[in-house]
Amino acid sequence: MQQNARNNSNSPGAGAGNTVSNLSSALRQVHIGNSNTTTDQSNIAIDLNSRSTQQQLMDDLNRSSSNAQDAAQVQSQQQGGHHEQDQANNGVPQQYGGPSVIDVSRITKFFQNQPMEGYTLFSHRSAPNGFKVAIVLSELNLNYDTIFLDFNLGEHRAPEFVAINPNARVPALIDHNLDNLSIWESGAIILHLVNKYYRDTGNPLLWSDNLAEQAHINSWMFFQTSGHAPMIGQALHFRYFHSQKVPSAVERYTDEVRRVYGVVEMALAEKREALIMDLDSENAAAYSAGTTPLNQSRFFDYPVWLVGDNISVADLSFVPWNNVVDRIGINIKVEFPEVYKWTKHMMRRTAVIKALRGE
């Protein structure tokens, strides 16, 4: 697999050694497991004071943020919270007001001389959804380049980019093998990649050749893109970026993230119990009777997946977001142990590590 990151010297973090993203630098900072190896470490080190990061979280990660913000502001005013607060005193970063200098020449140059084959991924250094796509490209061992857009330069507003992605956000993908087909929205991109890979190779890697399993994978994919990612994005926004402190909004979205993780935790726990009963059959009666707890089984830490017996895009789509929830006060190791073990197994995969490092 070949992957190159096209960087801009004016982009945040450019020139910092081999670090091409906030995600990659965090691999060396936060442990998600008990091992000392780098394959057991992950988190998303979001620069909360970066204007481009604020823009990305508010626009790309929180698709429906405007409605929620309006509702929260009305509620805040009703509670007497309509007075302006001194941002220097309360520590809330200033709202992103758009790029101060527009320079889209790098993007224009790319579209004037596109590659003849492979894929080009348009992403952002602090965009979990972009890294979702990178993980799948890496797992499928596909040849791709990454262009990390610089929002400070307004590159996401370049006419050539808007032409392939009318939403002017990341991620977006160009499939150069299909007459420069452009796809936008992370879920749509991922489903295109696995379906095309299955068609071309006959191998349903990260996918399934079973129609029922395909439907279940789609269900979890849509659940992740519509319920998991947006709720974390909203919680981040109201905790760090909103112009006023609205505790009720922070509480509401953090609670919703916990509810979403409860759904995933229950599904994984049921898969865990079924696996133990199947593989540890000699002790199944004791487990069923409750005389021996399931955590005594030698298969208690064995990997389980949301759909079927193999890892799929349904699982991998959660990875980048699972590593940002600590920023909203959720400790998945303590609160959702099955989610923690599941995430740890995925973070140990070589392709996942390479994708998050931008290699």
Q: Report if residue 89 sits inside a domain.
A: no
Known binding site for glutathione: residues? 129, 156, 169-170, 185-186
Kindly give the pairing relationship between strand 172-175 and strand 119-123.
antiparallel
| Cα(66)–Cα(50) distance, integer angstroms | 20
Residues in the chain: 359
Q: Which amino acid is at 329?
A: G
Domain count, the chain: 2
In whole angstroms, give the CA distance from residue 276 to residue 271: 9
Averaged confidence pLDDT in the chain: 80
DSSP string for 57-107: IIIII-TTHHHHHHHHHHHHHHTT--S---HHHH-PPPPP---SS---HHH
Q: Are residues 322 and 260 in the same domain?
A: yes
Distances (CA, A) of 68 to 44, 84, 233: 24, 19, 11
Print the domain residue range for 250. Answer: 211-357
Q: Does 110 map to a domain?
A: yes
- Cβ 158 vs Cβ 166: under 8 Å: no
Considering the domain architecture, whether residues 216 and 346 belong to the same structural domain is answered as: yes
Q: Among residues 201, 220, 240, which one ends one of the domains?
A: 201
pLDDT, average across residues 73-89: 39
Instruction: Tell whether 237 and 324 lie within a shared domain.
Output: yes
Other C-beta atoms lying within 10 Å of the C-beta of residue 180: 14
> Cβ(314)–Cβ(216) under 8 Å?
yes
Same domain, residue pair 216 and 171:
no
Quick: pLDDT tens for 127-142: 899 999 999 999 999 9
Q: Which two tokens stand for residue 219?
A: 């269900």
- Per-range mean pLDDT, top range of 150-154, 174-178, 323-327: 174-178
Window from 56-60, 208-212, 225-229, 268-272 with minimum mean pLDDT: 56-60
Confidence label for 292 from pLDDT (cuts 50, 70 and 90):
confident
How confident is the model over 69-88, as a mean pLDDT? Answer: 40
Q: What is the DSSP letter of 52?
A: H
Which amino acids are annotated as binding site, given as ranges?
A: 129, 156, 169-170, 185-186
What single letter denotes the amino acid at residue 325? V
In-domain check, residue 93? no
Q: How many Å apart are CA 41 and CA 26, to the nearest integer?
A: 8
- The mean pLDDT value for 43-66 works out to 46
Give the CATH number of the domain where residue 235 resides: 1.20.1050.10
Q: Is residue 307, in this structure, part of any structural domain at all?
A: yes
pLDDT reported for residue 293: 80
Q: What is the CATH number of the domain that holds 165?
A: 3.40.30.10
